[in-house]
Chains A and B, each alone.
Chain A
Amino acid sequence: MSQAPPTTPTGTIYDRGYRHYEGPREGRWRRVRAIVVASVRRALGLKRNWKTKIIPFGLLVLAFGPVVAFIGIRVLVGEAVGEFATYPQYLRIVAGLLLLFAATAAPELLCPDRRQNVLALIFTRPVTRVDYLLAKLAALLLVVGLIAVVPLVVLFLGNTFTADSAATYLREHVGDLGRILVAGTVLTVFYSVVALAAASLTDRRAMATAGLLGVFLASSALANILFFTTRFDGRRWFALLSLGGAPGRFVDWLFGNGFDQGTLAQQAGLTGPVYLTEMAVVVAVAGALLTWRILRLRP
């Protein structure tokens, strides 16, 4: 006769102490993405109090508001309303908003990390300075691009769908859509890189914003003075001195408009590609400055 052997009671003591993490780790992409997401949140003032949302959301409203309002009126009243702004005109307005936005957002991305000594926290993780730079740049490009491209695309779509014949409008103006995208990209890259370069020079946000806006203003004023008070042949090159003017003039050329009578741009007679080249040079210099500053950041 067999009996089932008595089962001995078993017990275990669990070691719940501190352990080294041996599990899977995400890769570089996730790390960069984390910084991008955090930066975008910071630039838009999300997850913080209402005061930090004023400027970004205010600028967003200014960028989208007129477009939305216009489309609304168009839908109600029909084509009788006419165009409220041509694409280049609206792009110029947006360019001004972009400057303000980049000038306030870029310092938010770079300066607090330095000022609050967060850099030690970031760089003792497997995040390289290159990753950090690319992440911050990507974040700003995303947010600035949002304002540069989307309102205009919405305007275009609005015009298309409220036109008597959407298909006709689209066929006739598809070139404009292309130009909108090109202009939007150029403006986004220009303002983002320049603003980030300015922000990388100091750890105080207000100073970075003030400095950037000051430089844009001063360069325009100087260009005007030099052009209108001197009288020699080479003076048309002074038009290039105005950093703030270049984007708007490029846009005007892109859409085939002439410059307004009497302005510096018109009298200087420089063409769009020259301004584009100027912007490219400025972006390259600013980019080099930004890279140099970030790569030598000490945590």
Chain B
Amino acid sequence: MAKDVAVIGVGQSSFVRGYEGSIRELAFESFREAMQDAGITQKDVDASVFCSAPEYDKQRSPAGVMAEYLGLIPQPTFYIETVCSSSSSGVKVAYSMIKSGLHDIVVVLGFQKMSEITSAESQERMGRGADIQWEAPFGTMMPAYYALYARAYMANHGLTHDDLMAVRLKSATYGVINERAVYRKGVKPEDFDPKNPDAKLAGPVAWPLRVGDCCANADGSSCIILANAKKVKAISKKPIWILGIGAASEAVNMAARPDFAKGLSVGYGAANQAYKMAKITAKDVDVAEVHDCFTIAEIMAYEGLGFAKVGEGKELIKAKETYKEGRIPVNVDGGLLSKGHPIGATGGSQIRTIVLQLRREAGPMQVKDPEIGLVHNVGGVGLYGNVTIFGR
């Protein structure tokens, strides 16, 4: 496994509803933490990459504005976008910039302030992250798209509502102990019971998905600082190396999806590339962060990553194998479901979690002695997929 590019600093703002500041101030929160973590100053940074999904705030071309606010001018800066996977795409680009020899240290900053618009407006934006010419005219939205997959899994693999709920119960377990999570309340099965008048998570959103099957919108930012081996040797005491990177894309329109009962093809494609590059298999992964924008998405991720066979992902969560003490702990920071999903910040936040895990700095969420960690970050309805593998 080549050790050419490492993460030398990580930062994340708290994920909140209604951040009391502007997007540049939100970016500053994670940037400051990552810079202090890396122990460097702005003059050490050669370039910066900013990542978000467009149209949540009014700023066009945010990279220049933010680079100035963070003290990163006159170095080169630009913007990367793959909706929900923007910041893991940014990390892939930064990796390439460093591996090519062009730059030594690159900052990747993901941000999103979703609270500037209403929930209905947000659904409309997300729907337009899919096919605006042929699908959005039907009134599509993200929960409905993922519900198509959930329905296919129920019909073809015997997936049940209880299986989906089990994913949420797990994420909530860790959301409670993650101080940076937006949803810190515990979740009980009664919360999903339609017969319980106080059940807050039982209401249908896009059937068969319920409120509790959907991730929480949030405002947040994340920052990942990458460096080449020479800089790592000079300045970093706790580098976490990028061992493998994979990325894939898929047809936007549901009419071109080959098989809804097999999950998202980008998960398989990106994972296979990343495993091959890292020269490992799924069995070697000790801790993972996967893109659980909806409960069904986590089950599909288990299968795409090879933690389970197609149709058998539900067995992993039933047996609690993806809990902190299980065979392959997944999303033990609360995941998108409980930690929250500030779109452009999500991939970087997942990477931060894995870096802290591999450094053994994850506090109450710490998994026992992980050596290899994996991040699975999906953009849109499996339109984009990034899998990144990290090691000590």
A and B bound?
Answer: no
